Amino acid sequence: MSWASDWDVVIGLEVHVQLATQSKIFSGSPTAFGAEPNTQASLVDLGMPGVLPVLNAEAVKMAVRFGLGIDAEIGRKSVFARKNYFYPDLPKGYQISQYELPIVGKGHVDITLDDGTVKRIGVTRAHLEEDAGKSLHEDFQGMSGIDLNRAGTPLLEIVSEPDMRNAKEAVAYARAIHALIRYLGISDGNMNEGSMRCDCNVSIRPKGTEAFGTRREIKNVNSFRFIEKAINAEVEWQVEQLESGRKIQQATVLYDPATNTTRAMRTKEEANDYRYFPDPDLLPVVVSEAFIEEVLRALPELPEAKRARFISEFGLGDYDAARLVGDKDLAQFFETAVQAAGSANAKLVANWTISELLGRLNADEKEITDSPVAAGQIGGLVARIADGTLSSKLAKTVFDALWNGEGPTADAIIEARGLKQVSDSGAIEAIVDKVLAASAAQVEDYRASDESKRKKKLGFFVGQIMKESQGKANPQQVNEILLRKLGG
């Protein structure tokens, strides 16, 4: 990134979250994903003349929950407005949204950066709206089909301040929103199914200047990986434009993962004039103090609070704590494992959960909720590492066995396979003697070498001894005894 010393990047995100209500926002149709096309659309969703929308109170409550979760001002009176445009997936000819008076006002979300520092990102507003239907282009030769199942499903659009300065921060923010909506239980956040979609607004400005550059908006990015790639591709493009003397035109663009490029859909001149006005079919939404109090009381512990607690209560590092609270099921798994291992071993539990378990789950494309190794089993395993029964090498063997379902607990596997670490110094000494006696030439060579070379040569003996003990000798004791015998 040769341009990085010349340009600053500015990013703001608009995140659309599909709320997990039982029924749609203005009709009683169900909201379950994956039903036969058009079996979940009522007359309201179809935009039939004469039908009237009725607001779903559950969606309002979820929006307020979110607002309180980001410490935002809750709009005591919010108003639904009609956003007018034509598209085949929108039979009414307008989308019901909120415009001037949203239900959630200014708030903030804290993100943890790679170096462990915390940065606060402003949230400008969040408003309720209905989703549109879906055009299906694949299954109809030469024609498109329309599926109105999604029409009228409740969305919360969360608009950030332009506070992010690179793609990694944008991803951290999107992840923080994702974690939050799942903790709050207001959405499954499933990006594959479109439950969370991001529009990324990107601009650049010469380093050291205040004024923002012209932004382009990358529409509907649906994975964290693509958020990062799309923003980086867009920044490269903008830098190239400006450095070759061209101007940036405000535009809406699409990211194409196949070519890793962004391509303009429409420019500002072609943008719709939505002619927003208050929807005469819907009353303003009035939220009482008592209702806000009630929602506030029912809030669970949220990611930021949990992160701070994991650090203070368990002594975890910034990175581990942030990683573990990033998903509510993972945080729950960790705490259950700590209960089984004892809280003094929490750091070891964090290590095993993050590097071993998550590594394995990732490789198999499994979620923590599908983990073949249960939290209690990890806890039991860590307890045996902590009390010296298992070396880390033996622990990996036990972990594999747990993963493959070879036993109900670490203890049962240790017992059945005789995997206890040998910490009897007499027994280890005997093995060391045997190995040294069989390697006279190497011993001589070791003793003749200077300090800097010795360390590497020691590895040979350790390897032989571990092999001789079938991996069971306590590595620390092996080292001590070996060094003593070699006179190092």
Q: Which residues are near ligand ADP by CB under 6 A?
A: 10-14, 159-162, 201-203, 212-213, 215
Selection from Mg ion, ligand ADP, none that 389 binds (CB < 5 to 8 A by kind) is: none
Please give the DSSP secondary-structure letter assigned to residue 262: E
Closest residue to ligand ADP using C-beta atoms: 12
Selection from Mg ion, ligand ADP, none that 203 binds (CB < 5 to 8 A by kind) is: ligand ADP
Q: Which of residues 9-68 bind Mg ion (CB under 5 A)?
A: 14
Selection from Mg ion, ligand ADP, none that 162 binds (CB < 5 to 8 A by kind) is: ligand ADP
Window 136-155: contact mask with Mg ion (x via CB under 5 A)? --------------------
CB of 102 to ligand ADP, least distance (A): 11
Selection from Mg ion, ligand ADP, none that 58 binds (CB < 5 to 8 A by kind) is: none
Distance CA 148, CA 96 (A): 15
Selection from ligand ADP, Mg ion, none that 468 binds (CB < 5 to 8 A by kind) is: none
CA 49 to chain centre: 42
14 vs 110 by CB, closer to Mg ion: 14
Closest residue to Mg ion using C-beta atoms: 14
Tokens of 420: 């206890």
| Torsion angle, alpha carbons of 172, 175, 180, 183, to 10 | -130
β-strands 251-256, 216-221 pairing: parallel
Selection from ligand ADP, Mg ion, none that 212 binds (CB < 5 to 8 A by kind) is: ligand ADP
Which residue's entry shows tokens 């341009």? Answer: 3
Distance CA 208, CA 5 (A): 10
148 vs 235 by CB, closer to ligand ADP: 235
Selection from ligand ADP, Mg ion, none that 12 binds (CB < 5 to 8 A by kind) is: ligand ADP
**Choices 8-16, 112-120, 218-226, 366-374 (CB under 5 A): range interacting with Mg ion:** 8-16
User: Cβ distance 169 to 44 under 8 Å?
Assistant: no
200 vs 350 by CB, closer to ligand ADP: 200
Number of H helices, E strands in the chain: 17, 15
Distance CA 380, CA 167 (A): 39
14 vs 58 by CB, closer to ligand ADP: 14
CB of 12 to Mg ion, least distance (A): 9
CB of 297 to ligand ADP, least distance (A): 31
Cβ-count burial of 139 within 10 angstroms (0-12 exposed, 13-18 middle, 19+ buried)? exposed
> What is the C-alpha R_g of the chain?
29
The SS3 assignment for 200 reads strand
CB of 237 to Mg ion, least distance (A): 19
14 vs 236 by CB, closer to Mg ion: 14
CB of 109 to ligand ADP, least distance (A): 13
CB of 125 to ligand ADP, least distance (A): 8
Distance CA 420, CA 389 (A): 6
The beta strands (E) that lie in 99-250 are given as: 107-112, 118-130, 134-136, 145-147, 154-160, 196-206, 216-221
Distance CA 345, CA 351 (A): 10
Selection from Mg ion, ligand ADP, none that 176 binds (CB < 5 to 8 A by kind) is: none
Q: Which of residues 375-434 bind Mg ion (CB under 5 A)?
A: none
Which residue's entry shows tokens 């003749």? Answer: 448
CB of 359 to Mg ion, least distance (A): 38
β-strands 154-160, 118-130 pairing: antiparallel
Q: Which residues bind Mg ion (CB under 5 A)?
A: 14
